[in-house]
């Protein structure tokens, strides 16, 4: 036994890598098993890596901005014995023992991400004051230095060069800039391109009258609010999706070359925007077993934790269907809403707005103003055909419009 335990990135994680975002402990800190050591931003969510044992954080092998593949060594801990004394580090090869801040300069080491930024930006990290542990320069420091060094867009390339700035960081006309992609943005890009390359996708669009669910929500939202639950419109979309799955279960499926796998559980992912960082789709599991109030509570919990980077990796896996409520940001129709592979379909909800419609009353056509929204279903045409798509949407709209009071 060497007395040294490696801190590693999870073997099972969303995508093929994660990015180190923030060390929560410093070298030399005493930690207990399970204490959060470092934050990793995976392709889908930020997660905390816990201490594997009681001990002392003795080495940080990866800094902010470094890519961490599954199983990669993030750092090392020295084990404490029963008396709380750390095991000796003498058995550890000298090249992996941590340098003490008192005897080594933090500027003597730059992570691969910092070195890459230095090459791209033309900025010497030694000229910066680091914000990382023990004064280390991080990728964020390099990005900030690049941003603050940019001249006014009207400044010419020659003026930038005279000022000692890197003219290659912006376009020749000085009117553009390069923003490094986040892990989430890169994951979304790969996933969307892979989805379109994999499946022939077709979108059908219906129109839904929200009068009934608006009335029901108005009559019940205060009661649920008193219980700490927000009754959102998305709650109704989840419930109506479950009802439509009963009529057309093939929508809740996955294509395989040798057959269509139709799932018994309706595990619905709900797209949640995270601002410029992209979006995630945490899963409401076994939605077919949940009443409206339980759906509302589950949805609220997932939304709150998604926006505070507190979701667990497993809460983003195993979805069989996805809802994209793109109307909250103002769009009437989005087409196609790209399928979340390997699912067979994705529901889109457009902006809710008042529209003039024709309704028959006692055999007479009348002109009325109703709260309406376009709803769409994008399908994998390998799994589903048009008649199934339209039957599913017909039932989805009927459930919303006939919602009991």
Dmax (CA) of the chain: 92
Give the rounded distance of the alpha carbon of 177 from its chain centre.
25
3-state class of 212 per DSSP?
A: helix
Place of tokens 């500027």: 107
d(CA 150, CA 398): 55
Q: Answer yes or no: 43 catalytic.
A: no
Q: What is the DSSP string of 257-286?
A: TTEEEE-SS--EEE-EE-GGG-EE--EETT
Give the rounded distance of the alpha carbon of 64 from its chain centre.
19
Of residues 53, 85, 66, 54, the one with CA closest to residue 23: 66
d(CA 343, CA 345): 6
Crossing angle for the helix pair 211-226 and 233-247, to the nearest 10 degrees? 120
- Residue 367, Cβ neighbours under 10 Å: how many? 8
Q: Answer yes or no: 64 catalytic.
A: no
3-state class of 74 per DSSP?
A: strand
Which of 29, 67, 301, 381 is flagged as catalytic?
A: 381
- Residue 81, Cβ neighbours under 10 Å: how many? 11
Of residues 403, 10, 366, the one with CA closest to residue 214: 403
Which of 67, 265, 385, 387 is flagged as catalytic?
A: 385
Residue 217, both tokens: 């929500």
Length, in residues, of the chain: 405
d(CA 19, CA 64): 8
Do 333 and 352 contact (CB within 8 A), yes or no? no
Backbone phi and psi for residue 207, each to the nearest 5 degrees, phi listed first = -120, 135
Do 269 and 252 contact (CB within 8 A), yes or no? no
- Residue 207, Cβ neighbours under 10 Å: how many? 14
Terminal-residue alpha carbon distance, the chain: 68
Q: What is the set of active-site residues?
A: 381, 385
């Amino acid at each position: 036994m060497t007395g040294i335990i490696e801190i590693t990135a999870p073997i099972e994680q969303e995508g093929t890598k994660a990015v180190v975002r923030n060390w929560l402990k410093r070298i030399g800190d005493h930690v207990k098993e399970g204490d959060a050591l470092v934050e990793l931003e995976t392709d889908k969510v930020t997660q905390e890596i816990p201490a594997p044992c009681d001990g002392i954080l003795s080495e940080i092998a990866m800094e902010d901005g470094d890519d961490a593949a599954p199983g990669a060594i993030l750092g090392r801990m020295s084990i404490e014995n029963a008396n709380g004394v750390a095991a000796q580090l003498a058995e550890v090869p000298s090249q992996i023992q941590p340098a003490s801040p008192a005897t080594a300069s933090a500027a003597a080491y730059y992570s691969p991400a910092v070195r890459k930024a230095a090459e791209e930006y033309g900025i010497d990290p030694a000229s910066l004051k680091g914000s990382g542990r023990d004064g280390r320069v991080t990728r964020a420091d390099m990005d900030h230095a690049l941003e603050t060094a940019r001249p006014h867009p009207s400044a010419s390339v020659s003026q930038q060069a005279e000022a000692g700035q890197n003219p290659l960081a912006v376009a020749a006309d000085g009117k553009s800039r390069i923003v490094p992609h986040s892990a989430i943005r890169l994951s979304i890009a790969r996933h969307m391109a892979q989805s379109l390359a994999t499946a022939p996708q077709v979108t059908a669009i219906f129109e839904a009258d929200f009068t009934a669910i608006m009335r029901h929500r108005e009559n019940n939202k205060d009661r649920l609010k008193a219980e700490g639950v927000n009754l959102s419109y998305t709650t109704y979309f989840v419930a109506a999706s479950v009802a439509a799955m009963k009529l057309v279960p093939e929508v809740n499926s996955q294509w395989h070359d040798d057959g269509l796998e139709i799932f018994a559980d309706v595990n619905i992912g709900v797209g949640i925007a995270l601002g410029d960082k992209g979006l995630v789709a945490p899963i409401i599991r076994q939605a077919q077993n949940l009443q409206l109030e339980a759906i509302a509570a589950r949805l609220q919990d997932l939304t709150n934790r998604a926006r505070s980077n507190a979701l667990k990796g497993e809460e983003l896996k195993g979805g069989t269907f996805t809802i994209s409520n793109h109307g909250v940001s103002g769009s009437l129709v989005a087409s196609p809403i790209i399928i979340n592979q390997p699912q067979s379909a994705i529901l889109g909800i457009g902006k809710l707005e008042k529209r003039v419609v024709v309704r028959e009353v006692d055999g007479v056509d009348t002109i009325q103003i109703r709260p309406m929204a376009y709803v769409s279903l994008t399908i994998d045409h390998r799994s589903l055909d048009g008649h199934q798509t339209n039957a599913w949407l017909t039932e989805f709209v009927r459930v919303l419009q006939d919602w009991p009071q």
